[in-house]
Structure 1
Amino acid sequence: MDDSSLAQALERALPSGSAAACRAGFGSETRIFGSSEPQPVFSVTKMFVAAGVLRAVDAGALRLSDSLASRSPGAPSGCSIAQVLTHTAGLGDYSTNPEYLTAVREHPSDPWSLDSIAAASRQGEPGIFVYSNTGYWYLGAMLEEVSDMGLGQYLHREVFEPADMGSTRYPELETALTASGYSTLWAGPAGAAFSTPEDLLCFESLVTDTDPPSPAAVSPAMRRAFSQSVPVDAPAPWRDPRYGAGVMIDTKLRLWGHGGSGPGHRSAVFTSWDTGAAVAAIVPEESGFIPEEVLVPLLGHWE
């Protein structure tokens, strides 16, 4: 099956108003349809932040075995950076906290700080997978600390520019507002980035093995760290769902990627480890469409 057939199958599956990109394998043409305007990708941001952490390890600024608190003043003690990446640090979450939800609804353009996010998050025990947006806020603060740069500047230099993701950004306050007046910085380093489906397909050059390796790629050791994963519970179409360094992985389907959702949009990008076939989409939230439920089976079928 060729690129155009995959694009047609993807376009038929997605709701009106979607933007998407796909390719049928390594070296294949990328097919694009829908808007090329950068849109919020929410939790897909976690892959970008994780890649930024792997870059910092390659630069000698930190080690994955370091305690989070040793690299980010004020962060909770008792967990490693590696645990934060895989949501096994016990740092809790805030996304269902009633005070947080009320604040988002009443003040959509006025996001909370890390201190407020931390106060709204109930900590758990390290060593058990519990999805933690809060943990990625701490990773973002850590990257700012070790780089002496704003997170947007750091991700641009270390992730977006090397991967040729020219339309992707981690926003500043003045560039974080959506058309509805919602600031994606309510999601912070756990989900504030804007991107396009085409750019999302470019991300793989940072973290996957190719022959020859991409000049943009992190080191072989960090590529292995990216895919070192823990088991998670997830419904079909997942068959053996796991979570690595900011990435969902299925070892039976041989896929990796991430989804995201928030006010106005849902997004997802998935890539085949074996063939390089890849699909990415950003869809209107109002459609009720869950991209993972279609993209994962579509990519599995394509193989």
Structure 2
Amino acid sequence: MDDTLAFEALLRQLPTGSVAAYRGPRDGAPIHVSGPAEPLPVFSVTKMFVAAGVLRAVDAGLLTLADPLASRLPGAPTGCTIAQVLTHTAGLGNYTANPDYQHAINADPGEPWELEEISAASTPEKPGTFSYGNTGYWYLGAMLEGITGMSLGQYLHREIFEPADMASTRYPEPETSLTPSGYSTLWAGPAGAAFSTAADLLGFGDLFADSNPLFPSALSNAARAAFMDSVPVQAPAPWKEPRYGAGVMIDAGLGLWGHGGSGPGYRSAVFTSPATGAAAALICPGQTDFRPESALISLLGSHG
């Protein structure tokens, strides 16, 4: 079965209300889209956007990945570099399992915490080994705001969403962060607050295309290499050789890169095959057992 037929078969399995987009494995292939067009929460897929924003700042000469985080964000934890924060090896901990955090969400889902509260709810770990957590990306978001003088939403719009023609994607302000249930995605902050569409998620890969010197909106070769510079991670099947780069999951055995996300009400995933150019994205209701990551790995991954 070719990929187009496989994608059509996948569509028949999707939960009601899902959104899907697929681009075939040839230059100039059209994007096929199914489902509603309004932007939806993509949660941890946001990490790819923030990581790319950090790499755009590197290209602009505002920082280097070897810089200590605290040298670019006063008051941030010491003893870790920006590169370590990007790859979840900085030991900054996580907060999502903290009972106080969960209680606060349940008590007031529309009033998210700020970085100070997030930091207090996070238990630091030993730097140097991979431990996936959201706290580090909150620090990266605050760092980008500090070095650019812009809100994170403004910066990502200028440096990521606009160059990649992701017109329907946003990092929300408080008034645009609420889901139909009244939950603010800003509870996930720079680790997971963005809204997007399946078609826009495919556009993110355009930042890794060859840059036109007259319109240098893509990432530099060095930044692209840094995006894929990865550390090994533990992940269950269907992952084969899982690694984590700068805000991105990479699997050489599957021949894919991308990310998944989940949070109250929604699950999402987007993956690209560098070898073929094929890519697909899903945003699905979160009240079912359907797993977008596994579905896209089955659709796009190498199985030899």
Q: Tell me the TM-score normalized by structure 2.
A: 0.96
Encode CA deviations 1:83-126: one digit per residue, 9 max, x unaligned. Answer: 00000000000000000001011110000000000000000111
Q: Which residue number in structure 2 is paired with residue 7 of structure 1?
A: 7
> How many Å apart are 1:293 and its aligned residue?
1.4
Q: Separation in 2 of the partners of 1:7 and 1:96? A: 35
Matched, 1:19 2:19: yes
Question: The residue matched to 1:35 in structure 2 has which SS?
Answer: coil
Letter in 2 for 1:201: L
Counterparts of residues 96-175 of structure 1 (less than 5 Å): 96-175=97-176
Letter in 2 for 1:177: L
> How many Å apart are 1:4 and its aligned residue?
4.3
Question: The residue matched to 1:13 in structure 2 has which SS?
Answer: coil
Q: Separation in 1 of the partners of 2:11 and 2:283? A: 12
- Partners of 1:3 and 1:28 within 8 A in 2: no
Give the unaligned 5+ runs of structure 1: none
Q: Separation in 2 of the partners of 1:13 and 1:257? A: 21
> How many Å apart are 1:300 and its aligned residue?
1.6
Q: Which residue number in structure 2 is paired with residue 64 of structure 1?
A: 65
Question: The residue matched to 1:287 in structure 2 has which SS?
Answer: coil
Q: Which residue number in structure 2 is paired with residue 48 of structure 1?
A: 49
Q: Separation in 1 of the partners of 2:188 and 2:157? A: 18
> How many Å apart are 1:216 and its aligned residue?
3.0
Q: Which residue number in structure 2 is paired with residue 31 of structure 1?
A: 32
Counterparts of residues 128-277 of structure 1 (less than 5 Å): 128-208=129-209, 215-277=216-278
> How many Å apart are 1:74 and its aligned residue?
1.1
* Stretch deviating more after TM superposition (79-88 or 214-223): 214-223
Percent identical: 66
Letter in 2 for 1:136: Y
Moved over 6 A (4+): 210-214
Inter-CA distance 159–204: structure 2 relative to 1 (3 Å threshold): same
- Partners of 2:261 and 2:267 within 8 A in 1: yes
Q: Separation in 2 of the partners of 1:176 and 1:207? A: 28
> How many Å apart are 1:217 and its aligned residue?
1.4
- Partners of 1:13 and 1:294 within 8 A in 2: no
Q: Separation in 1 of the partners of 2:230 and 2:186? A: 27
- Partners of 1:55 and 1:218 within 8 A in 2: yes
Inter-CA distance 228–59: structure 2 relative to 1 (3 Å threshold): same
Letter in 2 for 1:123: P
Encode CA deviations 1:185-232: one digit per residue, 9 max, x unaligned. Answer: 000000000000000000001135689999531000000000000000
> How many Å apart are 1:176 and its aligned residue?
0.3
Question: The residue matched to 1:69 in structure 2 has which SS?
Answer: helix
Q: Separation in 1 of the partners of 2:166 and 2:9? A: 25
**CA-based RMSD:** 1.9
- Partners of 1:84 and 1:136 within 8 A in 2: yes
> How many Å apart are 1:251 and its aligned residue?
1.1
Number of residue pairs the alignment of both structures matches = 303
Q: Separation in 2 of the partners of 1:61 and 1:9? A: 46
Q: Separation in 2 of the partners of 1:202 and 1:95? A: 29
Give the unaligned 5+ runs of structure 2: none
Inter-CA distance 197–227: structure 2 relative to 1 (3 Å threshold): same
Q: Separation in 1 of the partners of 2:197 and 2:290? A: 18
Letter in 1 for 2:54: V
Encode CA deviations 1:257-301: one digit per residue, 9 max, x unaligned. Answer: 000000010000000011111110000001221111111111126
Q: Separation in 2 of the partners of 1:170 and 1:299? A: 28
Question: The residue matched to 2:48 in structure 1 has which SS?
Answer: helix
Q: Which residue number in structure 2 is paired with residue 94 of structure 1?
A: 95
Q: Separation in 2 of the partners of 1:223 and 1:18? A: 31
Q: Separation in 2 of the partners of 1:103 and 1:171? A: 20
Letter in 1 for 2:116: D
Question: The residue matched to 1:216 in structure 2 has which SS?
Answer: coil
Q: Separation in 1 of the partners of 2:146 and 2:211? A: 32
